[in-house]
Amino acid sequence: MFWPQENTGSGQYTRQLWQNLFPLNQTAPPEDRVEYTLLGFEPGVPLADLPADRKQTGQVPSAVQRGGDNAIKLWWEQTGLPGLASTAHKQGRGYDVIHWPYFAASLKQPPPPAATIITIHDLIPLVLPEYAPSLPLKAYFKLVSRAARQATLILADSEHSRQDILRLLKLPEDRVETVYLGTDERYKPGLLAEDERQALLQKYGLKGAERVIFYIGGFDRRKNVPLLIEAFARALPRLKEIEQSEGDERPWTLAIAGKAHSTNSAMYPDLKAVAAKFLPAADADRIKFMGRVDEEDKLGLYRAAEMFVFPSRYEGFGLDPLDALACGIPTICSDASSLPELMGQAARLVGPYRVEEWTGAIVDLAANPAKRQELADAGPGQAARFGWQKTAERTLELYHAANCIMTQSR
């Protein structure tokens, strides 16, 4: 099934999973082949590129549509999907396994003999209570937590997430499996021609000659971007000294890509105000807010950067820093939650609350091309441990396992 948030981590996961699952049938013996159907809803479900026999859509009632995205989401999870599953069952084409690709599920169990698998990317609303501040949100996460406890199997993106799930949802060890996500195959080391690099940076408001310290990701509080801005501002005097000592006029610049999903200042700090607080007006152009970048430009932006920075306080997996490693970009990354699992020894790890250490790490890498090269060389090998084909292969094994569990329980 599918929830249409294409640009989110769960949206990327769903797209990559189905693109890598389907080809596995081509090499599987006939008795092991799986018939997949993606379930979604109209309007807005981006399944148009799929064959008609691989998708099934429901129509969101107009009254629900008027309630906005949250109402549609709740309707789909608790009414729309169960209705599609029930209809398919009555027509003699029921499902053996139903896979929710994000932390949600219906309290109403699908018709037998369907097993239920839920991928829980993280438990942010339970680990960080500020992410569920209202009574409706608290009630929603209580609802989906209860539904998750009824699932046949839970898939976690990392061992850290798995331990959170076991602890907070109080599930037995054998019900939760770690299935790592992966990097897109397009992310690999490479050089941009100088004119191509300049044009790409200028597209997003830079001058094109900067030495870029790159961040891409969310702007909500757990992403910790204000700390990054403060650390860079503190590092700037030393960065200027490095420019002078090297005789290199290209200015070190922090380039921040992304866009806030809400105007709620409690969850999405005003990053431009933060930058104005820590940088004098004369240095304002040393931090550039690039806005949301086109998907096809991400590879070039990684390659245009001298280093990548990712100070997040909590990640279930962390696709962006792993993509940076795959591109051979020297990376400074938080040592919180799942990130050390992914980064290994291929990134400089720093505590997410230690602004002085972030300042020192930025200056250290800027001043030491050899250290940057060492990290650049280590990154692709570390990233290669995580691939979407591996994700699909392990997920397919667990589809079969969940089906066996349900068969044996009948």
> For the packed helices 159-169 and 135-149, what is the interaxial angle rounded to 10 degrees?
100
Across the range 281-294, mean pLDDT stands at 96
* Two structure tokens written together for 34: 């799986």
> For the packed helices 388-409 and 9-21, what is the interaxial angle rounded to 10 degrees?
80
Rounded to the nearest integer, the mean pLDDT of the chain is: 89
Given this model, what pLDDT does residue 365 score? 98
End-to-end CA distance of the chain: 25
**For the chain, which domains are there?**
9-182+388-409 (3.40.50.2000), 194-383 (3.40.50.2000)
- 332, 308 contact by CB (below 8 A): yes
> Whats the size of the chain, residue-wise?
410
* Two structure tokens written together for 251: 């200015």
Across the range 6-22, mean pLDDT stands at 80
| Pairing state between β 153-156 and 348-350 | unpaired
287 vs 78, more confident: 287
| Pairing state between β 348-350 and 331-334 | parallel
Q: How many helices (H) and strands (E) does the chain have?
A: 17, 12
Given this model, what pLDDT does residue 235 score? 99
DSSP annotation of 48 reads T
- Is the pLDDT at 208 greater than 60, yes or no? yes
Given this model, what pLDDT does residue 50 score? 59
Least Cα distance to 155 among 181, 127, 182 occurs for 181
Burial of 401 (C-beta count, 10 Å sphere; 0-12/13-18/19+):
middle
Across the range 113-132, mean pLDDT stands at 88
Quick check: helix, strand or coil at residue 302?
A: helix
Indicate the pLDDT class of residue 12, thresholds 50, 70 and 90: confident
Which residues on adjacent β-strands are paired with residue 39?
56
- Is the pLDDT at 390 greater than 90, yes or no? yes
- Is the pLDDT at 160 greater than 90, yes or no? yes
**pLDDT tens profile 217-269:** 999 999 999 999 999 999 999 999 999 999 998 999 999 999 877 778 888 99
Is the backbone of residue 119 left (phi > 0), alpha (psi -120 to 50) or beta? beta
109 vs 4, more confident: 109
Given this model, what pLDDT does residue 316 score? 93
* Two structure tokens written together for 364: 């250290």
pTM over 0.85, yes/no:
yes
Q: How far is CA 199 from CA 159, 206, 328, 394, in A?
A: 41, 9, 21, 41
- 259, 219 contact by CB (below 8 A): yes
Given this model, what pLDDT does residue 293 score? 96
Question: In the chain, helix, strand, coil percent, each to 5?
Answer: 50, 15, 35
- Is the pLDDT at 354 greater than 70, yes or no? yes
Across the range 355-365, mean pLDDT stands at 99
Q: What percentage of the chain exceeds 90 in pLDDT?
A: 62
Indicate the pLDDT class of residue 3, thresholds 50, 70 and 90: low
φ, ψ for residue 110, nearest 5 deg: -65, 160
φ, ψ for residue 41, nearest 5 deg: -140, 160
* Cα–Cα distance for residue pair 295/211, rounded to 1 Å: 22
DSSP annotation of 338 reads T
* Cα–Cα distance for residue pair 135/307, rounded to 1 Å: 41
Please enumerate in sequence order all residues whose Cβ is within 8 A of that of 74, keeping only pairs 6 or more positions apart, or say none.
140
- Is the pLDDT at 1 greater than 70, yes or no? no
Given this model, what pLDDT does residue 156 score? 97
φ, ψ for residue 147, nearest 5 deg: -65, -40
- Is the pLDDT at 51 greater than 80, yes or no? no
* Two structure tokens written together for 244: 């002078």
* Two structure tokens written together for 212: 């870029």
Given this model, what pLDDT does residue 39 score? 80
Across the range 91-107, mean pLDDT stands at 84
- Is the pLDDT at 59 greater than 80, yes or no? no
101 vs 113, more confident: 101
Q: What percentage of the chain exceeds 70 in pLDDT?
A: 92
The number of C-alpha atoms within 13 Å of 294 and in the hemisphere containing its C-beta is: 7
- Is the pLDDT at 396 greater than 80, yes or no? yes
276 vs 106, more confident: 276
Rg (CA), the chain: 23
* Cα–Cα distance for residue pair 65/205, rounded to 1 Å: 37
